[in-house]
């Protein structure tokens, strides 16, 4: 080969590449418009899949717990971090924004939309944050990852859940994107934003420590590989390149933001210490809690293939498969050009470490997979673009492109079906220990009795369930001020107008009702429900109401006749 000719060809190629990247050249402008349109379409899809009918699905027990805790903050301006339960404070405080915007001053004025719009917002932000990595991932990869984030069934389903997980993933990714932007500009603003996101993530959920450790180890491994490629001393040089003042800014911003939230904005200083000692509780829970103990492959099986009974097949295997391909590309540095392979390797290591850690931990709930699933989605974007570019001919590229599009359509169908058709169906793998739609029936029947009771909403209601297994009823009965929740039958207090109880306490309850019956008269209670009612699948609840209230309610719904002939 002629070295001079090879050098000239290389210079021409570089010149062409630069000219195509110039924002004022026609090719560059055309590609930018296409990129923007695709990103806009992905954002619209993300909103369209997440926003509608936020009140359709029954509130999960965890959602209801967080909602009731938020009620104290809204009505009493009171929040105290509990190191044993409920996770971090960001969800509660950030929910104040939509509550204030909707002019809600009481929990009874708060709707499911008000609560669930918070994770919806951060689910959409997760899509938009990819713009900050477009130059490192490559614009085509960023677009693919944006689309997959928008249509992932798990991402969509849990973006509509009033829990901390979507906030945690968004804040963690915010720290990664800001950190990357800092490496490109060395601007202290990005350093401060990195610290802010880290502080927000820490103040969101205790499992942040898993993401943080994964980020730290992934960074070390990435720098070690970079050092190996650049020669001895590369690792030390890279570390020393970070200004001490900028590193201090990251640490200070993270500590200040986290401390403000955990201290309830300086009204509860003990909350800061509680945020540290909480890990003893959660480590112990992860080791000993058998209720949520699952095998190591639980998450991967859920993502690759799930089918229950006569339900449809659920699979995000496309993302997993493409993520493996993306991991190989990141390690081999082959298949893509114009990307930052240090960034790709960091994401690859981060995702692998997160996946391993969450698989090893025996305590598992489905929404915990979102952290490493998001990393897989980023790698999947890499894998998709690499497979197309490595295709040997036009026919192969066309076939792979059509296959990816068809798989994307299937993901979108799953996202829609999971959130709008199988939203409380046990055949949906993302439905976990979820209440049935019977909770709506319970709330409606109590409402109907209140309409005919002399005391209205002030009537006495007792809910009796061992182990406090009555959530999310406190949410659905929040407008009734005289509801008592019990774990066993109280033989001292008089029976309530309406009683909702677990079958496990029925013998003791019947004995009490008979004892409180007027002398010589039968038990004055009748069944509140005319059919079998489940709180959750196979968890029955029974209802009882005073006979006279039941009769009034029946009469109130009977058609009125004039008696004329």
Task: Let me know: does 378 contact 137? Beta carbons within 8 Å.
Answer: yes
H helices of 107-243, where? Answer: 112-128, 134-137, 139-151, 153-158, 165-185, 188-202, 208-230, 234-240
Q: What is the 3-state secondary structure (H, E, C) of 368-392?
A: HHHHHHHHHHHHHHHHHHHHHHCCC
How far, in Å, CA of 495 to CA of 314, rounded? Answer: 47
Give the containing element (helix H, strand E) for 313.
none
Confidence at residue 234, expressed as pLDDT on a 0 to 100 scale: 59
Residues of the chain with pLDDT under 50: 1-31, 561-565
Looking at residue 266, its pLDDT comes to 93
Contact 382, 137 (CB under 8 A): yes
CB 100 within 8 A of CB 34: no
- Name the DSSP class of 483: E
Confidence at residue 326, expressed as pLDDT on a 0 to 100 scale? 96
- The domains of the chain are located at 22-420, 438-557
Compute the C-alpha angle 215/219/224, nearest 5°: 150
How high is the pLDDT of residue 157? Answer: 98
The CA distances from residue 550 to 231, 270, 482, in Å, are 83, 50, 19
Query: 489 with 509: CB under 8 angstroms?
Result: yes
Q: How many CB atoms lie within 10 A of CB 410?
A: 16
Q: Are strands 525-527 and 539-546 parallel, antiparallel or unpaired?
A: antiparallel
pLDDT at 2: 45
pLDDT at position 19: 36
What pLDDT score was predicted for residue 5? 41
For residue 507, how many other CB atoms are within 10 A of its CB?
10
Give the C-alpha separation, 352 to 323, whole Å. 10
pLDDT at position 28: 38
């Amino acid at each position: 080969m002629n070295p001079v000719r090879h050098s000239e060809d290389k210079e021409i190629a570089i010149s062409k590449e630069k000219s195509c990247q110039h924002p004022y050249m026609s090719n560059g402008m055309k590609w930018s418009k296409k990129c923007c349109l695709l990103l806009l379409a992905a954002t619209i899809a993300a909103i369209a899949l997440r926003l509608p009918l936020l009140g359709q699905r029954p509130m999960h027990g965890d959602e209801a717990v967080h909602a009731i805790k938020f009620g104290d903050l809204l009505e009493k301006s009171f929040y105290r971090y509990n190191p044993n339960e409920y996770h971090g404070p960001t969800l509660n405080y950030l929910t104040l924004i939509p509550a204030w915007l909707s002019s809600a001053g009481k929990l009874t004025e708060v709707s499911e939309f008000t609560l669930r719009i918070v994770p919806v917002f951060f689910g959409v932000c997760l899509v938009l944050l990819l713009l900050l990595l477009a130059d490192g991932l490559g614009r085509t990869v960023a677009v693919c990852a944006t689309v997959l984030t928008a249509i992932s069934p798990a991402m969509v389903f849990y973006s509509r859940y009033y829990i901390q997980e979507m906030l945690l993933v968004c804040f963690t990714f915010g720290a990664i994107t800001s950190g990357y932007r800092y490496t490109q500009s060395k601007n202290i603003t990005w350093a401060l934003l990195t610290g802010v996101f880290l502080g927000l993530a820490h103040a969101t959920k205790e499992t942040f420590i898993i993401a943080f450790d994964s980020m730290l180890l992934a960074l070390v491994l990435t720098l070690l590989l970079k050092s190996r490629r650049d020669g001895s001393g590369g690792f030390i040089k890279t570390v020393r390149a970070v200004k001490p003042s900028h590193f201090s800014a990251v640490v200070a911003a993270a500590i200040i933001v986290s401390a403000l939230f955990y201290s309830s904005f300086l009204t509860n200083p003990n909350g800061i210490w509680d945020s540290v000692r909480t890990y003893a509780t959660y480590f112990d829970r992860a080791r000993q809690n058998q209720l949520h103990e699952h095998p190591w492959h639980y998450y991967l099986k859920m993502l690759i293939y799930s089918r229950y009974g006569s339900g449809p097949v659920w699979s995000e295997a496309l993302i997993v498969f493409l993520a493996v391909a993306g991991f190989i590309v990141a390690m081999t540095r082959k298949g893509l050009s114009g990307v930052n392979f240090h960034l790709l390797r960091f994401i690859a290591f981060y995702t692998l470490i997160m996946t391993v850690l969450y698989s090893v931990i025996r305590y598992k709930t489905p929404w915990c997979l979102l952290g490493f699933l998001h990393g897989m989605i980023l790698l999947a974007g890499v894998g998709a673009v690499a497979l197309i570019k490595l295709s040997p001919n036009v026919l192969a590229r066309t076939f792979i492109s059509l296959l990816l599009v068809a798989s994307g359509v299937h993901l979108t169908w799953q996202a829609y079906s999971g959130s709008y058709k199988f939203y409380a169906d046990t055949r949906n793998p993302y439905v976990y220990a979820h209440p049935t739609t019977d909770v709506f029936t319970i709330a409606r029947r109590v409402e109907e009795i209140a309409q005919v009771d002399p005391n209205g909403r002030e009537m006495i209601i007792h809910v009796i369930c061992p182990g406090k297994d009555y959530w999310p009823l406190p949410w659905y009965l929040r407008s009734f001020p005289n509801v008592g929740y019990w774990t066993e039958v109280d033989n001292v207090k008089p029976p309530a107008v309406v009683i909702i109880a677990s079958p496990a306490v029925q013998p003791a309850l019947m004995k009490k009702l008979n004892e409180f019956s007027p002398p010589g008269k039968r038990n004055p209670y009748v069944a509140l429900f005319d059919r079998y009612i489940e709180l959750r699948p196979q968890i029955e609840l029974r209802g009882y109401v005073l006979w006279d209230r039941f009769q009034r309610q029946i009469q109130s719904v009977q058609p009125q006749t004039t008696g004329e002939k």
